[in-house]
With several copies, the nearest count.
Chain A
Amino acid sequence: MKINLTSNELNQVKILLGREPNIVELGMIDVMWSEHCSYKSSKLELKKIPTKGRRVIVGPGFDSGIVDLGDGDVVAFKIESHNHPSAIDPYNGAATGIGGIIRDILCTNCRPIALLDSLRFGKLEKGHNRWLFQNVIRGIADYGNCCGIPTVAGEIEFDPSFERNCLVNVACSGIGKKENIVLGKMENPGDILVLLGGSTGRDGIHGVTFASKTIDERSEEDRPSVQVGDPFMKKIVIEATLEALSTRYVRGLKDLGGGGLTCALSEMSDKGGVGAEINIDKIHIREADMAPFELMISESQERMLFVIKPEGLNKILKIFDKWEIKYSIIGKVTNTKKVVVKKDKQIIASLPPKILTEVPPIRRKSRKPNYLKKFPKKFELKQKPKNLSQAIYELLMMPTIASKQYIYQQYDHEVGIRTVIRPGEADAAVLRILGKNKAIAMKTDCNSFHTYLDPYYGHAGAVAESIRNIVVTGAEPIAIADCCNFGNPENPEVFWQFKRSIDGLSYMLNGLDIPCIGGNVSFYNEDERTSTAVKPTIVIAALGLIDDLNHITTLGLKESNQAIIIIGKTYNEIGGSQFSIRFNGIGGKVANAKHDREKASMNAVLSSIRKGYITASHDCSKGGLAIALAKMAINGGFGAIVDIKKIPKTSMNPYELLFSESHGRFIVSSRIEDVGKILKICKDNNASVSLIGKTNDEGTIKFSIGKETIANCEIKKMRKCWKNGIQKYIN
């Protein structure tokens, strides 16, 4: 057996336990003390993130967070990474990532209704990156589609830092009733433990310790630990589980993910202050002669652990039989406050759950990275694009900005008949609550070019951008979940990035008064040989509530002769922008997201949408004003003329006005007669605002400074550039 505990940790274990652990116990402790299960490097930092809010029913600490939508409706929401498996087997790695996040939602007794995927790869010019990209997407598509859960939104970035470590983050939301929520807890001694679903095998061993290591030669031996997903089995597990939960005989439920049975048993018994006893001979297995510790730590897919009231057992087993799904009655809840494992009636492990769940945190060293000192503070245009029109066409072709149709067309984004706003129609996806005049909006975001130059403001910005993306559809933001992706935390420079990132994220959440209801940390996204770590990336998944389906707004321009209005001020912040990256490389001052500005603009936009004044709205982010407006024109088919002199601003440089990625900005269109009302709402909210132009049907987007035209782009040509940006790399 390979042990990853350090000798120091092993000593701590002995002290805590007051004796030597036996081999089974050691296996269990080893897996639970891994970075992935224990959060030992991150937990002190994560404590800083605000998690409370009036709608929060369940915050971090359970399988997924849950928020209250009113009228008894709740939404479970969670995001998770599956980076390491995806890097070596993009198809199965991504597929089982989807499988895992679905289970997290399912075990709260909410029906999973939507998936989101947030992806990062190296550049598509390289064959290896194309292989990862195409197979990750196929993996997500095959799994999500088969389970009947629509994949409704996401984002994608391309940057060389993700070449050897692609990032695959997936989020899921589920809908349920407040009174029916079930948690991952055991509370009543005597309740029966039933393991449902896939059989336990060696295929799932050491996935966790694998995710807590960098990818190097060692993964050769680890390789069999990438699992094959079975979405058909998952679909059956979903339906059988929901049917079983509807009997109300299920008192607790947890999915088996990282740490397998060990994790489920220890966390559930710890949360309820009880104990658990199981008999491993009862577990249904894939392979004969598995060692007890293997059974205890295997992470074989598609499994759930049910805590069932004894009087309801038969009824529930009948449901499992109807679905022809395998299960085993493995043990019961006890009052011993110990997790006890038996084999042939002999006790082979007996541990207090706390030793498995409360792993001592590690205080990591942190130091400002050297690379940050290299970048010039001031951005200088060394290489100028031929002309501004050309710059716009070229930015539209950048895969990070270009159309994502190639991706989302492979995802069933409509199954479930809830999808009101599909990918491509607005910044966020909108799904209705069946039978109600309500909907939820969701989107994931992070700009890793910003976060690399400034983890603090970059992540304040990631929060702001994800929230803006749901606000533009007409949703009130209610919560976020976060997924951290960093290099090796033992490297002080990486840990500095992590700390600053969490600080920036917390700053914005506190300022906007939005709680974080869950998250996930993935470290060691780093190529050991070249010690290149991924750009620091905390993906924010934002969730919003729309309380009237009539208020939903999309991004395409709707008619000619409507007003174009910009809300929010444009600063001299072109560092880390797509424009800068395309023409000058990375460097310069990154957009600083400030919560007061965000709040002012968001409130103004939201009230204007809810009053019905806004006909189209789009968040202004990657590529700046020029690209935001271009996308609105491409989508709606109407052109526009805009005078950039009128933009609320701090500088008069046209590059900055068109391409700066300052936060807190929205572009909206409205009927001419509503302009005054919108301006007033903005003023009341203290938001900078200006009427900058008008839509037309001339088939072009024209930017001018006063009377002088500085760029004039054909919609047709822009559409072509934008549509081909990714597509041209396929076949």
Chain B
Amino acid sequence: MPNYLVEVIIENKKLAKDPEGETIYRELINKSGYDEILSVRSGKYLRLNVNAQSKNDAEKIVYKMCNDLRIYNPVVHSCKIVAKGNIE
């Protein structure tokens, strides 16, 4: 079975605010010169190596895991799961 790289990205929902992203953004404005950057959101990133039949399967496994093990808290977080190509 091939191995897939699966990325999990957890961000705060709006109600939970994003103090870290906001701080980085404020720093940008303060230090100026970065007017091109219009917004910043911060999040947590996990990169998993998953053994699965297909990309789709890999995503499904990770999706189930993230919900079962509460990798994110649905009240305050959004969670994005993307399987990338397989790893040799």
B73 beta carbon closer than 8 Å to chain A? yes
Partner of B17, one of A88, A228, A731: A228
State how many residues of chain B have any CB contact under 8 Å with chain A.
13
Q: How far is the CA of A723 from the CA of B16 in the complex (A)?
A: 30
Given contacts A89-B73, A89-B75, contact A224 B19 (CB under 8 A): no
Residues in B neighbouring A233, C-beta threshold 8 A: 19
A227 beta carbon closer than 8 Å to chain B? yes
Interface string of B29-62 (1 = CB under 8 A from A): 0000000000000000000000000000000000
A703 beta carbon closer than 8 Å to chain B? no
Q: How far is the CA of A226 from the CA of B74 in the complex (A)?
A: 11
B15 beta carbon closer than 8 Å to chain A? yes
A-B contact count, CB below 8 Å? 37
Interface string of B13-27 (1 = CB under 8 A from A): 101111100010010
Asked if A224 contacts B16 (CB within 8 A), the reply is yes
Residues in B neighbouring A229, C-beta threshold 8 A: 19
Partner of A232, one of B19, B70, B76: B19
Size bracket, chain A contacts: 20 to 34
Q: How far is the CA of A202 from the CA of B14 in the complex (A)?
A: 12
Residues in A neighbouring B26, C-beta threshold 8 A: 731
Chain B's nearest CB lies how many Å from the CB of A670? Answer: 48
Chain A's nearest CB lies how many Å from the CB of B79? Answer: 14
A203 beta carbon closer than 8 Å to chain B? yes
Chain B's nearest CB lies how many Å from the CB of A363? Answer: 36
Asked if A202 contacts B12 (CB within 8 A), the reply is no
Given contacts A228-B12, A232-B23, contact A203 B73 (CB under 8 A): no
Partner of A287, one of B15, B19, B23, B70: B15
Given contacts A224-B13, A228-B12, contact A92 B19 (CB under 8 A): no
Asked if B17 contacts A91 (CB within 8 A), the reply is no
Residues in B neighbouring A201, C-beta threshold 8 A: 15, 17
Chain A's nearest CB lies how many Å from the CB of B67? Answer: 12
Chain A's nearest CB lies how many Å from the CB of B51? Answer: 20
Asked if B19 contacts A226 (CB within 8 A), the reply is no
Asked if B19 contacts A227 (CB within 8 A), the reply is no
Asked if B15 contacts A228 (CB within 8 A), the reply is no
Residues in B neighbouring A203, C-beta threshold 8 A: 15-17
Within 8 A of B (CB), among A203-222: 203
Interface string of A259-299 (1 = CB under 8 A from B): 00000000000000000000000000011000000000000
Partner of A223, one of B17, B23, B75: B75
Shortest Cβ distance from B73 into A: residue: A89
Asked if B23 contacts A228 (CB within 8 A), the reply is no
Asked if A131 contacts B15 (CB within 8 A), the reply is no
Residues in A neighbouring B17, C-beta threshold 8 A: 201, 203, 227-228, 230, 286
Q: How far is the CA of A666 from the CA of B21 in the complex (A)?
A: 48
Asked if B19 contacts A228 (CB within 8 A), the reply is yes
Residues in B neighbouring A89, C-beta threshold 8 A: 73, 75-76
Residues in A neighbouring B13, C-beta threshold 8 A: 224
Q: How far is the CA of A731 from the CA of B76 in the complex (A)?
A: 24
Chain B's nearest CB lies how many Å from the CB of A396? Answer: 26
Chain A's nearest CB lies how many Å from the CB of B15? Answer: 6
Chain A's nearest CB lies how many Å from the CB of B16? Answer: 5
Asked if B19 contacts A230 (CB within 8 A), the reply is yes
Chain B's nearest CB lies how many Å from the CB of A400? Answer: 24
Chain A's nearest CB lies how many Å from the CB of B77? Answer: 9
Given contacts A131-B70, A232-B23, contact A88 B16 (CB under 8 A): no
Shortest Cβ distance from A128 into B: residue: B70
Asked if A226 contacts B15 (CB within 8 A), the reply is no
Residue among B12, B16, B76 having the largest count of chain A Cβ atoms under 10 Å: B76
Q: How far is the CA of A224 from the CA of B70 in the complex (A)?
A: 18
Asked if B15 contacts A202 (CB within 8 A), the reply is yes
Asked if B75 contacts A88 (CB within 8 A), the reply is yes
Q: How far is the CA of A286 from the CA of B14 in the complex (A)?
A: 12
Within 8 A of B (CB), among A101-141: 131
Chain A's nearest CB lies how many Å from the CB of B53? Answer: 28
Residue among A91, A223, A228 having the largest count of chain B Cβ atoms under 10 Å: A228
Chain B's nearest CB lies how many Å from the CB of A596? Answer: 50
Chain B's nearest CB lies how many Å from the CB of A256? Answer: 15
Q: How far is the CA of A230 from the CA of B12 in the complex (A)?
A: 13
Shortest Cβ distance from A230 into B: residue: B19
Residues in B neighbouring A228, C-beta threshold 8 A: 12, 16-19, 76
Chain B's nearest CB lies how many Å from the CB of A567? Answer: 47
Within 8 A of B (CB), among A642-666: none
Residues in A neighbouring B15, C-beta threshold 8 A: 201-203, 224, 287
Chain A's nearest CB lies how many Å from the CB of B27? Answer: 8
Chain B's nearest CB lies how many Å from the CB of A727? Answer: 16
Q: How far is the CA of A380 from the CA of B16 in the complex (A)?
A: 54
Given contacts A203-B16, A203-B17, A287-B15, contact A226 B23 (CB under 8 A): no
Partner of A91, one of B16, B19, B23, B73: B73
Within 8 A of B (CB), among A170-218: 201-203
Q: How far is the CA of A58 from the CA of B5 in the complex (A)?
A: 54
Shortest Cβ distance from B18 into A: residue: A228
Shortest Cβ distance from A233 into B: residue: B19
Chain A's nearest CB lies how many Å from the CB of B75? Answer: 5
Residues in A neighbouring B75, C-beta threshold 8 A: 88-89, 223, 226
Query: Can you show 22 pairs from A to B with CB atoms below 8 A apart?
Result: A88-B75, A92-B76, A201-B17, A203-B15, A203-B16, A203-B17, A223-B75, A224-B15, A226-B75, A226-B76, A227-B16, A227-B17, A228-B16, A228-B17, A228-B19, A228-B76, A229-B19, A230-B17, A232-B23, A233-B19, A286-B17, A287-B15
Binding site for B on A (CB under 8 A): 88-89, 91-92, 131, 201-203, 223-224, 226-230, 232-233, 286-287, 731
Extra contacts besides A203-B16, A224-B13, A224-B15 (20): CB < 8 Å: A88-B75, A89-B75, A89-B76, A91-B73, A92-B76, A201-B17, A202-B15, A226-B75, A227-B16, A227-B17, A228-B12, A228-B16, A228-B17, A228-B18, A228-B19, A228-B76, A229-B19, A230-B17, A232-B23, A731-B26
